[in-house]
Amino acid sequence: MTAEAAIQTEGLTCIYRQLWRRREVRAVDDVSLEVSRGTSFGLLGPNGAGKTTFVKLLLGIVRPAAGQARLLGLDCRRPEARLRVGYLPENHRLPSYWTGTGLLEFAAALSGLDARTRRERARQLLELVGLGNWGDVRLARYSKGMLQRLGLAQAMMHSPALLILDEPTDGVDPLGRQQIRTILRELEQRGVTIFLNSHLLTEVELFCKEVAIMDRGRLVLSGKVRDLIAGKGYRLTALNVPERLFERLREQASAAAMRDGVAEFQFASREEVNGALDLLRAAGCLVESIAPTTSTLEQVFLRTVGREGSQP
């Protein structure tokens, strides 16, 4: 484990026991993960993969059966470990008897902020999340999207170094999502580590630099988004390609195949595909198609989880 990491887990395991049926469910199974400080990290997985339990383990809401976790270098079981952590839970039910300002001040007081700072931060953050005119209104009158934005604001009240967000854009309209992404991007630029637990793959792909995929409680893949979606490029298919030319192009391409007389090449860049096109034309080959290809995070996800039609 490195001291620089924002989140470090080692063999983290959570077992839910059903007393009456004597059944055990390994919600999180031997997960070792490291999230470096200042990065934006996305945790993906199908329903029931153990993502939310993993987050709860990190925050001491659930006790591990085995293993350990550290937040910003501190044992996650200690309340001090959460001093510089902001959290937005999934399906939260923020106390509706507070006003927007009241809730933010309450959240900040729990993080130890003094009254003056609380007032100032509440005002600033309500403005930031677009609820500047709603500070004196009770939460009972807020829409789901507004509650989600307020939830994000309360997580940011004490200027955390690590922000753990469970489905932060749930129920938020596209404009609000864009706004949340902008806020998170600004935080990331200021060195805040952002840990995103989301089922929206495109959102994770747009925002996160690193991802991990969980399935059936286990960590099945982790890495940089850039590396995982490296399958981007161009696919070229042609007919009547002589064997010598096919072999030559195969060396240049990232992948090549000959199926039923049709040669198929995968090139990583525009220059490479144009060079190949020149050679094929010169040899009198018939070019059938050229198409840009992408390997989206969704494709990576489906490949990894191995279940077509899975819901992340």
Binding site for another protein (CB under 8 A): 16, 56, 59-63, 79-83, 85, 87, 89, 91-95, 97-98, 102, 106-107, 109-114, 164
In DSSP notation, 281-295 reads HHTT-EEEEEEEE--
Name the strand (E) or helix (H) holding 211: strand 210-215
User: ∠ CA(200), CA(221), CA(236), 5° rounding?
Assistant: 80
If the CB atoms of residues 84 and 177 are measured against another protein, the closer one turns out to be: 84
| Shortest spacing between CB 122 and another protein, in angstroms | 13
Residue 236 near residue 265 (C-beta atoms within 8 A):
yes
| Shortest spacing between CB 222 and another protein, in angstroms | 23
Residue 167 CB coordination number (10 Å): 21
If the CB atoms of residues 49 and 280 are measured against another protein, the closer one turns out to be: 49
Structure tokens at 138: 């009770």
If the CB atoms of residues 104 and 263 are measured against another protein, the closer one turns out to be: 104
If the CB atoms of residues 31 and 225 are measured against another protein, the closer one turns out to be: 31
Structure tokens at 84: 């510089």
Q: E strands within 38-197? A: 40-44, 66-71, 74-75, 85-88, 162-166, 193-197
Q: How far apart are CA 259 and CA 274, in angstroms?
A: 22
| Shortest spacing between CB 119 and another protein, in angstroms | 14
User: Could you tell me which residues are beta bridge partners of residue 25?
Assistant: 16
| Shortest spacing between CB 82 and another protein, in angstroms | 4
| Shortest spacing between CB 78 and another protein, in angstroms | 9
| Shortest spacing between CB 68 and another protein, in angstroms | 17
If the CB atoms of residues 162 and 285 are measured against another protein, the closer one turns out to be: 162
Residue 151 near residue 141 (C-beta atoms within 8 A):
no
If the CB atoms of residues 53 and 222 are measured against another protein, the closer one turns out to be: 53
